[in-house]
Amino acid sequence: MFVIGLDVGTTGTKAILFDETGKIHGQGYLEYDLNVRPGGYVEQSAKDWKKAIVHAVRTACRDVAPESVAAIGLSTQGSSLAVCDSVSEADNVITWMDGRAVAEAETLATAFGPDGMYRKSGWPSAPGGDASKILWLKNRGMLTGKEKFVSTLSYANHFLTGRYATDPTNGAIRQLFSVPERKWDEEILSHLGITEESLPEVLPTGALVGNLTKEAAGELGLTEAVQVFNGAHDQYCAALGCGAVRPGDMMLATGTTWVVLGVTDQLRYTKSHICPGVHPAGGYGAMASQVNAGSALKWWHSQTGDSYKAFDEEAQKRQESAADLFWVPYLAGSGFPDPDPEKRSRIVGLSLHHDKYDLARALMEGVAFETRRVMEEYTREGISADRLMMTGGATRSAFWSGIVAAVLSECSVFVSDCSDTSCLGAAMIAAVGCGMYSSFREAGVMGALRELERPDPEVIDYYQKKYETYCRILKSTY
């Protein structure tokens, strides 16, 4: 029997067909467009989500018998909002990247106090949150009081099963949900002038949403016997997929943005606004993002025209020549733990003998140093990291992974062999739901982890000294 991990992301949807061992038997993917306009508008179409789900699932399952597919689990982008009279009619989506509701986010921060929204939902008031976007629409007379406020997970669940449902991780990032009470927050809804009737029911991650409807089964080329289990926000699915399920585990997801998600045994609120949430495997998560990471190296790659392989091969030869070269990677402002969109990147120590590969190495090191700063803030707040699980693009570089392991030498670093841990985590949700496994910990056998060798002591010492210099540069520059 097979299960499908379905990831409905920001720029595309991927479906991967797994067996109970975690072996991949098929996969499909379809991209869709973002409509970016002046004024901070970043929109897309919910109908594109549906089209991509159908294409991705059909492609992933084309070589297996329909009756061999037992279940689907979902991973989704968070806080992307479609407003409509009925879920099936949802189309225009205001994505989580949309920035039009700046004034409304400030209004909510004032109404509930500096940390009010954070204490409720686990997320500080922000323009990309659905609470701010709903208030923006209300302020412009664009609501009638009869709308459905549809998010990615609730739309996908409704398309597949006819049931309008979401989970706590997606509810929280919408900034409409109380994490401590695990329900829609009455104060926030009242302030916005909306009711629970306009929102999906909240089911635990992993709960059975239902079987495929006749219509959905026909479109996907599957049977109505396929069960759909409630998913989670994509980062929490990635945490499941890479095995970050116990207190003391920490995920480092290395995509365009690098995301750190620690597992804790209680809700942790911090002055630096680490974002707490309900972990699907039990306990809680604690999440923070580095906005300059994969995106920074991608930018440098676009400027030089060199391949990532060339960066890897040449940069690792540059330890001596780049020893005194530092690149603070704030190409889009600084992120956690000191977020400031006005901060700018700095290159320190550049001279005539340096080349583009010296700079590539310095940039990789700068991203690793910023990760250590994030980890140190977690430690100050009592969130431990005994095991760090790396997943995503940087794990394809043994060199960059090795830098991270040397810079973060106080914890064991593991690398996931699956490059799509959000899909894998969603598949684990399906596997546990349909009875292949009794728990997410047991389902962890679906994802292979390998521990990186501990770097040589001299390499650790080299990076300890270089990190100390990096911190002095930050202190004297910003």
Give the count of alpha carbons within 13 A of 344, CB side only: 3
Rounded mean pLDDT, 421-431: 97
Q: Structural domain of residue 476, as residue ranges?
A: 243-417+448-478
Same domain, 283 and 199: no
pLDDT of residue 79: 95
Q: What is the pLDDT of residue 138?
A: 97
Q: Is the same domain home to 64 and 192?
A: yes
Q: With 90 as the cut, is the pLDDT of residue 417 above it?
A: no
φ/ψ region of 369 (left if φ > 0, alpha if ψ in -120 to 50, else beta) reads alpha
**Residues 221 and 127 reside in one and the same domain:** yes
Residues 172 and 153 in one domain: yes
CATH number, domain of 160, equals: 3.30.420.40
Of 206, 235, 264, the position where a domain reaches its end is 235
Query: Rounded CA gap, 220 and 81, in Å?
Result: 24
Q: Residue 429 falls within a domain, yes or no?
A: no
- pLDDT tens profile 197-249: 999 999 999 999 999 999 999 999 999 999 999 999 999 999 999 999 999 99
pLDDT at 114 over 90: no
Answer yes or no: do 345 and 403 share one domain. yes
On the CB side of 48, CA atoms within 13 Å amount to 19
The domain boundary, picked from 186, 203, 235, lies at 235
**Residue 2 confidence (pLDDT):** 98
- Number of domain units in the chain: 2
Average pLDDT of the residues of the chain: 96
> Please, which pLDDT band fits residue 419 given cuts at 50, 70 and 90?
confident
Distance CA 48, CA 45 (A): 5
Distance CA 195, CA 188 (A): 10
pLDDT of residue 50: 98
Residue 448 has pLDDT above 90, yes or no: no
**Within-domain flag for 423:** no
**pTM listed for this prediction:** 0.94
Q: Which of 235, 270, 298 delimits the end of a domain? A: 235
pLDDT in tens, 306-365: 999 999 999 999 999 999 999 999 999 999 999 998 999 999 999 999 999 999 999 999
Q: At what angle do helices 356-380 and 294-304 cross, to 10 degrees?
A: 170
Name the residue among 12, 43, 20, 129 with its Cα closest to residue 424.
Answer: 20
Give the burial string for 275-284 (b: 16+ CB within 10 Å, else e): bbbbbbbeeb
Per-residue model confidence (pLDDT) at position 104: 98
In a domain, 430, yes or no: no
